[in-house]
């Protein structure tokens, strides 16, 4: 889905425009950064998100500036990134990182009250699938204090770097170490709350996530 805003101009060979491939990257994470204009100034807010089809869902306090601005239908940019490792070149100039990143554009829309629980479940399942059914659902007062914004993806692109450092040809003869340092994300063992009742076992959603 390539248009003027989403077209990759810097190192275009690293660009990805197929939505199915981009969504695989987008679904690996649950934290994004939402960019918008507030009172004439740019603002970028980190927040959790969920995706279903071509829609991104975010939530927040009903009075938060991000939510109150986005519900007006203003244009918004959302980005996320995974850093997969350091790339150390022979020259300082060519040091880099291996990464996957996504940038999308769309407009915010307030989710209707009768669809709010469904949207919140999408966010919850994006973070840890199945957890929604294993905990107390939001109360009426909690729902009143929360708004959910739906962002329809109008433009989207991804950019990915993998592999070894790329040095200038003459630098390959220099006596400096070069290579990659991978970052491996490890999900740790679940730690029970110290106020948890002793007879409550780890639920399936947590077992599936931590692999135990």
C-alpha to C-alpha distances, 119 to 34, 45, 57, 132, 155, nearest whole angstrom: 18, 20, 7, 11, 21
| N-to-C CA span, the chain | 39
Determine contact, residues 55/106, Cβ cutoff 8 Å: no
Write out the chain's pLDDT in tens, 212 residues. 556 789 988 888 999 999 999 999 999 999 999 999 999 999 999 999 999 999 999 999 999 999 999 999 999 999 999 999 999 999 999 999 999 999 999 999 999 999 999 999 999 999 999 999 999 999 999 999 999 999 999 999 999 999 999 999 999 999 999 999 999 989 999 999 999 999 999 999 999 999 86
- Per-residue confidence (pLDDT) for residue 2, from 0 to 100: 55
H helices, E strands: number in the chain: 5, 9
CA dihedral of residues 120, 126, 127, 129 (deg, nearest 10): 100
Determine contact, residues 95/165, Cβ cutoff 8 Å: yes
Q: Which two tokens stand for residue 88?
A: 């150390």
| Integer Cα distance of 134 and 205 in angstroms | 8
The model's pTM is 0.91
Q: Which of 129, 114, 113 is nearest to 51 (CA)?
A: 129
- Per-residue confidence (pLDDT) for residue 10, from 0 to 100: 85
Q: Which CATH architecture has domain 12-83+96-164?
A: Roll (2.30)
Write down the domain spans for the chain. Answer: 12-83+96-164
Neighbouring-strand partners of residue 51? 56
């Amino acid at each position: 889905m390539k248009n003027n805003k989403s077209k990759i101009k810097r190192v275009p060979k690293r660009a990805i425009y197929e939505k199915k491939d981009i969504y695989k990257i987008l679904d690996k994470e649950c934290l994004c950064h939402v960019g918008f204009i507030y009172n004439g100034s740019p603002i970028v807010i980190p927040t959790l998100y969920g995706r279903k089809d071509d829609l991104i869902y975010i939530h927040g306090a009903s009075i938060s500036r991000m939510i109150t601005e986005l519900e007006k239908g203003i244009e918004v940019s959302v980005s996320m990134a995974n850093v997969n490792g350091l790339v150390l070149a022979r020259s300082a100039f060519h040091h880099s990182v291996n990464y996957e990143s996504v940038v999308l554009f769309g407009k915010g829309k307030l989710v209707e009250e009768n669809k709010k629980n469904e949207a919140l479940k999408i966010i919850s399942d994006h973070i840890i699938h199945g957890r929604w059914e294993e905990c107390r659902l939001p109360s009426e007062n909690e729902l009143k204090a929360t708004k959910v914004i739906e962002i329809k993806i109008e433009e989207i692109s991804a950019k990915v770097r993998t592999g070894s450092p790329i040095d200038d040809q003459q630098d390959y003869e220099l006596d400096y170490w070069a290579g990659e340092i991978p970052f491996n994300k490890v999900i740790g063992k679940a730690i029970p709350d110290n106020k948890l009742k002793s007879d409550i076992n780890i639920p399936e959603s947590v077992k599936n996530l931590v692999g135990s």
